[in-house]
Structure 1
Amino acid sequence: MPYEHLDLSTPKPVLSWANHELDSRETQMAQNVASLPFVFKHVALMPDVHLGKGALVGSVIATKDAVIPAAVGVDIGCFTGDTLIPVADGVNYSLQELAEKGASVNVYSCTSSGKIVVTQAISRLTRRHASLVKIVLDNGEEIKCTPDHQFMLRNGTYQEASNLKIGASLMPFYSKTDKDGYTLIQQNYSGRWQKAHWVVVRSGLLGEIPKFVGQRTIIHHKNFNQSDNHPNNLEFMGHKDHSAYHRSLVERNSHWQSPEFETTRKKALAAKAKTQEGYEFYAQRGTKNILKYMKDNPQHFLKAVADNGVRGKEYLVKYNQSPQGRKKSKEIANRLYTCDTCGEQIKSPIGLHNHRKYEHGYNHKVIAVIPLEETENVYCLSVPEYNNFALSAGVFVHNCGMAAVKMPFQQNQLEGKLKKIRRDIEAAIPVGFNDNKNIEKAVTNWQGWRDFKELHSGVQRLENKALKQMGSLGGGNHFIELCLDTDGQVWLMLHSGSRHIGNQLAQCHIATGKELAKLADNQLPDLDLAYFVKGTSEFAAYWRDLQWAQDYARFNRDVMMERFKTIVEKHLAGGKPTKPLLSVNCHHNYAEQEHHFGEDVYVTRKGAVRARKDDYGIIPGSMGAKSFIVKGKGHHDSYCSCSHGAGRLMSRSKAKKLFTVDDVVKQTQGIECRKDRGVIDEIPAAYKPIEEVMNQQQDLVEIVATLKQVVCVKG
């Protein structure tokens, strides 16, 4: 459904995607916001719009050179447009070039264990005139990015660019081209080189690997360019069929039967036999042939190997004691091997292994972090499945957060386990006002604690509480849910924020804004719309604290999601770690600097989600309704936004008066969750029907997956 242009007498228009007429209080809130002098172009109302504080929940407000401290937000860390990205087709593209193309590309990502895979991503311009730092690596590469962008460390964790230490070991990306033109990728978890086309295949981009009777499965490059490993260029074939196919090309290219090609082919086979992969292949083939020979000719075999040990010993001792044998032994002992990282010549394979381990750690190190005075437009890749990507500079970096994870489990694996899973979640993740009794190392190591003393003085007493609440859910509409999609696939989903510390930061800055408004005698329609103007110390302090709070919220969700994932793996995979099939992140209640209608503006999404073209997002229903994984359509009039959920139909107090525990039991039938007085205000009937809300924003998003929860944990 297209939006409605509301008939309001305000300086700036109000566009509404809501599926109901605004009541008098909602109308007044919309008028108040649209009357502010710094509002840009128009105000957009999402389908789940309802009463809030100062501004409607579900409103998107673009402003020029001012922000209203009623939301929590953070800029997304990104790179300058000339940053090069290695793509599976064998070409290094700049982020700006990829953004201008607009299409998805296949890039390299890395799991926390160091396994490199290939996955899809899309590049976008994310910020204009952003502040920058330069990261210098020990391989001579320089990377310019925003100070908050996260780099993947060698242990699989992340660190913001501005907080990287000199000598920090980063997760490396090593690639090279072999003599036949094939791209090789070094796997960080094993140190072994692997052909890139097999990395693509084992990442699942060509589906299941087929078997060919009596043949080895090989991969054919359709355009005969061995460095082009785009999935569309790769084809499975049996090795005999592959050879026959090339022979069939003789009329088109006599090279395949020329003496030159035969010489090259024999050299290639000999070279292959010297590689570990080739040695294993020929060893297996030789073993197979010998075993067949032994079976078919047992008498001849026994005669052939008679006295092998006696004869062999005599010749071996004689050779080792000869000048030629001594010379060969000395040669092997002094043979030099080249370090792929620095090019240094190292004696013996063991020496090379130790050199790599102690000098390089199999990865690049940071040698400088330099703040830059200039600003530039910056870009980033969206990588939903793995949340990181490789730079041509040779390291892996993070993309933007997560809040929902598609797991490699099916519905039938959950049978009889829902109650146990719920109990384990409630035991592992504090809800409501509860804190963590034990603080895990990942929490105490979070880099944000370094900046705590820079936050507003009004929260300095709360550091210990913030530490204990990291990895806790909270109450209200926050939730942890185990869901199933329409294909019976298992999803993990959670909604939480920056807990008490974020709320207190917001309250401190809102109070400051109100005090300034009174001193300046600003005639605001609502004092809760007090604002800070860009260029003032109050604006700078608010923007700094806002970023810190959003970083806290993001890491808080990461900590909970890791615990949640571990619990589900315990029950469905015997505790074995698994790889998510898709990870999705979406923020709401945040402010961000963006470019709309040809101008740079601050966009505040209060109870709304960013929905640029192909942005993944989550639109949850209530605890008894469906939820949706969506992709944005980039609707410019909504400032590329959509709803963040169903939206409340009635207040919490009204819901508690209108409904009973029996109503909760009926409306959450089939769901493993609390069914008591403490969750009556979260009953499904207190929210708008999610199907209607989704119908109102068909022009804003497309549905990727429809989910229904089977376990729901609330505070």
Structure 2
Amino acid sequence: MPYENLEISTRSPVLSWANHPLKSDEIKMAKNVASLPFVFKHVALMPDVHLGKGALVGSVIATKEAIIPAAVGVDIGCFVGDTLIPLMDGKSYPIKELADRSEKFIVYACSSSGRIVATYATAKLTRKNAALVKVILDNGEEIICTPDHQFMLRDGSYEEAQNLQAETSLMPFYSKVDKDGYTLIAQPYSGRWQKAHWIIARSGLLGGKVEKFEGQKTVIHHRNFNESDNRPENLEFMGNCDHSAYHRNLVERNQHWQSPEFEEKRVAALAKKAQRTEGYQYYAERGTKNILQYMQQQPEHFKQAVADNGIRGKQYLLAYNQSEKGKAKSKEIANRYYTCEICGVEVKTPIGLHNHRRKEHQCNHKIVAVLTLNYTEDVYCLTVPEYHNFALKAGVFVHNCGMMAIKTPFKGEQLEGKLKKIRLDIEAAIPTGFNENKEVEKTVTNWQRWSDFKDLHRGVQDLQNKAMRQMGSLGGGNHFIEVCLDTENSVWLMLHSGSRNIGNQLAQCHISTAKELAKMAGNSLPDPDLAYFIAGTPEFQAYWHDLQWSQDYARVNRDVMMARFKRIVEKHLAGGKAIKPLLEVNCHHNYAEKEVHFGENVYVTRKGAVRAQEEDYGIIPGSMGAKSYIVKGKGNAHSFCSCSHGAGRLLSRKKAKNTYTLDDLIEQTMGVECRKDTGVLDEIPGAYKSIEQVMENQSDLVEVEATLKQVLCVKG
């Protein structure tokens, strides 16, 4: 259904995707927002639109140089096509080329503890004609991406590209090839180099645990003898003795390798290699190693062999050092430059190189500058389940696009007889409503952005302990945890939650500040909840900082819950064995972003709406007893590339409780394992709009990728 241009007299038009006339109080709220002078183009109303605070829930508001805290609420990027992504075959590929592939591939990702791992990913086109910035690094690399794409900082937190400052330290990705042809990766948590094939093994991509061989040391054999090709299918665990025997057997079977002709060519090739700088260095290192081994294994023989070396060589060394040639050589050595293998900088003397490494490379990269570009391009991103970040060839880690329903490899029949046990386990493991965790798990305490808590609004400074205990909890109202089945009987895990009490309190603090400023300035507003901040002011900057923190908190909160949720389902359906999701989707609503629409930079507020740019994945859930949808955005410009975040309420919570009975709830949630008591009566399916009708109304905004029906629902 195309949008309707509402016939109301306002400064900016109001476009509606709802299939029904708005009520008088809804019309008034829409008019209030559309009358503000900084609203850009028009206000877009999604099919699930209904009354909210300040602005309608289900409204999308683009603004110029201002933002309305009450319209945002408290819930809650991409690269040009030639951006290079390093893969496990030892090569780097343009991200656009990866997006053209249909299969998964393996990338490097970084855990929250700073350990680099290997994991599967997919690539996709995410936006067309996107605004761009150029991020310049201190290693000379330049990264062109959207302004909102998040870069991983050295402490494990994330910051949007447009907000990166000069000298900001990023999580680094250093790789090199050693003299034997093996790919080495520098681990940020330790600063030590690790062979890439062992990263593959330790990430569980070679069938789980590392194999053991009695009486032997475990090694990894490259089947095609290409030491840089670390694809799992090219790697094999072997005992070191078996590995050596295998190579000797190959040599013995190949008579050409033993022939005089081959030996003559081999010796000539070695001599030629020794004449090159890298070859000379290689043989010097190998010779040193052999001599040291000889000294340790045959010390007496070595002493006899070198007994008179000092006496015989002293006179020649003194004469050489005093000669013009010797003096020139000493001067040349003293002024010789050495290349830092990490950043490529030329540093004078070995001691200088050592000091340079210690000072500049405690495994780090720094920002030189971020420049706004005056052109647009199509951009791409990766989906990286579990770790949600990936390495660029340029040498840093970046966040992948958001995702929070997961498709599992399980089938519906595996759930038979287990739903009630799964629900009880979920309710025991994940606090709901006003409840919080009794103990704070390590994943929560390790979140890097707790260090920023002191910089949040002074009104929440006594809430850090509560915020930590609530991370990994569901909340109440329309928040939920669900097990669903799609039309192919595949099991999906889905949840909806936000930034809990800390996000709400931060919002209230800033809303109060905005109202105080409006009162002091004598601003006449149609509704006090439309008080706003002007871009560039300290109040705007403080609010924007706290909003980003709240949205990060909401994301991690969902991650912690989903990890627990997934482990519970794995316990019942796979005996506790971890499974790899087939698809992950995580979308935010009630949030604001800087975006480009109709060729201009604006702040887009989605209050109860989801971003639906072209190829964006999103979730549009129904109610407790209705269908839900996994969708892809169509990038409709008139909706500011947005869609609804659900069905939308038809009745207020109070009216729903007065209208329906417990028997109605039992009937409307038939076939769903869930609470069936008066405590969740306000969430009865009848209190919500028809999700089928809502989806029909936004067929020009999204296309359906999967249709889900819940079989289990946990509410606060």
Q: How does 1:485-564 map to 2 (within 5 A)?
A: 485-564=486-565
CA shift digits 1:72-97 (9 cap, x unpaired): 589997679985434799985677xx
* Structure 2 residue 45 is matched with structure 1 residue 42: no
SS in 1 for 2:85: strand
Residue 364 of structure 2 is matched in structure 1 by: 367
Residue 302 of structure 2 is matched in structure 1 by: none
Residue 381 of structure 2 is matched in structure 1 by: 382
Instruction: Kindly provide the amino acid, as one letter, of the partner of residue 369 in structure 1.
Output: K
Residue 56 of structure 1 is matched in structure 2 by: 56
* Structure 2 residue 693 is matched with structure 1 residue 692: yes
SS in 2 for 1:405: strand
Distance in structure 1 (CA, Å) of the matches to 2:365 and 2:184: 27
Report if aligned partners of 2:623, 2:685 keep a CA contact under 8 Å in 1.
yes
Instruction: Kindly provide the amino acid, as one letter, of the partner of residue 107 in structure 2.
Output: S
Alpha-carbon offset, residue 159 of structure 1: 6.0
Residue 114 of structure 1 is matched in structure 2 by: 117
Distance in structure 2 (CA, Å) of the matches to 1:173 and 1:483: 42
Distance in structure 2 (CA, Å) of the matches to 1:187 and 1:571: 38
Change (3 A) 1:104 1:123: farther
Residue 299 of structure 1 is matched in structure 2 by: none
Q: How does 1:380-529 map to 2 (within 5 A)?
A: 381-386=380-385, 387-394=388-395, 396-529=397-530
Instruction: Kindly provide the amino acid, as one letter, of the partner of residue 383 in structure 2.
Output: P
Instruction: Kindly provide the amino acid, as one letter, of the partner of residue 118 in structure 2.
Output: K
Distance in structure 1 (CA, Å) of the matches to 2:690 and 2:176: 51
Q: How does 1:21-420 map to 2 (within 5 A)?
A: 21-72=21-72, 84-86=84-86, 98=96, 108-110=106-108, 114-117=117-120, 119-122=122-125, 124=127, 136=138, 149-151=150-152, 191=195, 193=197, 283=246, 333=293, 342=341, 366-370=363-367, 372=369, 374-375=371-372, 381-386=380-385, 387-394=388-395, 396-420=397-421
Distance in structure 1 (CA, Å) of the matches to 2:639 and 2:5: 12
Alpha-carbon offset, residue 191 of structure 1: 3.7
Report if aligned partners of 2:484, 2:492 keep a CA contact under 8 Å in 1.
yes
Change (3 A) 1:365 1:159: farther
Change (3 A) 1:119 1:334: farther
Distance in structure 2 (CA, Å) of the matches to 1:94 and 1:192: 21
SS in 1 for 2:663: helix
Change (3 A) 1:168 1:13: closer
Change (3 A) 1:441 1:90: closer
Change (3 A) 1:77 1:614: closer
Report if aligned partners of 1:109, 1:119 keep a CA contact under 8 Å in 2.
no
Report if aligned partners of 1:114, 1:187 keep a CA contact under 8 Å in 2.
no
Report if aligned partners of 2:99, 2:124 keep a CA contact under 8 Å in 1.
no
Alpha-carbon offset, residue 443 of structure 1: 1.0
Distance in structure 1 (CA, Å) of the matches to 2:412 and 2:49: 34
Across the two proteins, how many residue pairs are aligned to each other?
Answer: 581
Distance in structure 2 (CA, Å) of the matches to 1:438 and 1:126: 47
SS in 2 for 1:19: coil
Alpha-carbon offset, residue 456 of structure 1: 1.2
Change (3 A) 1:431 1:603: same
Instruction: Kindly provide the amino acid, as one letter, of the partner of residue 383 in structure 1.
Output: L
SS in 1 for 2:482: strand
Change (3 A) 1:404 1:150: farther
Report if aligned partners of 2:157, 2:448 keep a CA contact under 8 Å in 1.
no
Change (3 A) 1:629 1:175: farther
Where structure 2 has 5 or more consecutive residues not aligned to the other structure, the ranges are 188-192, 208-222, 254-286, 296-339, 343-356
Report if aligned partners of 2:86, 2:107 keep a CA contact under 8 Å in 1.
no
Report if aligned partners of 1:73, 1:592 keep a CA contact under 8 Å in 2.
no
Distance in structure 2 (CA, Å) of the matches to 1:518 and 1:600: 29
Alpha-carbon offset, residue 519 of structure 1: 1.9
CA shift digits 1:195-236 (9 cap, x unpaired): x9xx9x999xxxxxxxxxxxxxx99xxxxxx9xx9x9xxxx9
Alpha-carbon offset, residue 65 of structure 1: 0.6
Distance in structure 2 (CA, Å) of the matches to 1:109 and 1:702: 29
SS in 2 for 1:55: coil
Change (3 A) 1:175 1:574: farther
CA shift digits 1:552-571 (9 cap, x unpaired): 11111111111111111111
Distance in structure 2 (CA, Å) of the matches to 1:125 and 1:539: 29
Residue 650 of structure 2 is matched in structure 1 by: 649
Residue 4 of structure 2 is matched in structure 1 by: 4
Change (3 A) 1:458 1:7: same
Report % sequence identity: 60
Change (3 A) 1:448 1:390: closer
Distance in structure 1 (CA, Å) of the matches to 2:409 and 2:99: 29
Change (3 A) 1:160 1:129: closer
CA shift digits 1:165-199 (9 cap, x unpaired): 999975666689999xxx989899994649x9xx9
Distance in structure 2 (CA, Å) of the matches to 1:83 and 1:37: 40
Report if aligned partners of 1:67, 1:531 keep a CA contact under 8 Å in 2.
yes
Residue 310 of structure 1 is matched in structure 2 by: none
Distance in structure 2 (CA, Å) of the matches to 1:163 and 1:450: 18
Distance in structure 2 (CA, Å) of the matches to 1:167 and 1:529: 38
Change (3 A) 1:524 1:286: same
Residue 569 of structure 1 is matched in structure 2 by: 570
Report if aligned partners of 1:618, 1:629 keep a CA contact under 8 Å in 2.
yes
Residue 349 of structure 2 is matched in structure 1 by: none
Distance in structure 2 (CA, Å) of the matches to 1:167 and 1:159: 11
Distance in structure 2 (CA, Å) of the matches to 1:700 and 1:486: 22
Alpha-carbon offset, residue 367 of structure 1: 3.1
Distance in structure 2 (CA, Å) of the matches to 1:147 and 1:643: 22
Report if aligned partners of 1:153, 1:159 keep a CA contact under 8 Å in 2.
no
Alpha-carbon offset, residue 125 of structure 1: 7.5
Residue 283 of structure 2 is matched in structure 1 by: none
Change (3 A) 1:168 1:597: closer
Distance in structure 1 (CA, Å) of the matches to 2:154 and 2:431: 29
**Cα RMSD, aligned residues only:** 4.7
Alpha-carbon offset, residue 613 of structure 1: 0.3
Distance in structure 1 (CA, Å) of the matches to 2:543 and 2:46: 26
Residue 679 of structure 1 is matched in structure 2 by: 680
Change (3 A) 1:16 1:374: same
Change (3 A) 1:385 1:83: closer
Residue 323 of structure 1 is matched in structure 2 by: none
SS in 2 for 1:688: coil
Change (3 A) 1:166 1:610: closer
Change (3 A) 1:136 1:493: farther
Where structure 1 has 5 or more consecutive residues not aligned to the other structure, the ranges are 204-217, 220-225, 237-271, 291-326, 336-340, 344-359
Distance in structure 2 (CA, Å) of the matches to 1:648 and 1:509: 27
Distance in structure 1 (CA, Å) of the matches to 2:91 and 2:532: 47
Alpha-carbon offset, residue 590 of structure 1: 0.6
Change (3 A) 1:390 1:447: closer
Q: How does 1:606-625 map to 2 (within 5 A)?
A: 606-625=607-626
Distance in structure 1 (CA, Å) of the matches to 2:56 and 2:177: 51
Report if aligned partners of 2:40, 2:62 keep a CA contact under 8 Å in 1.
yes
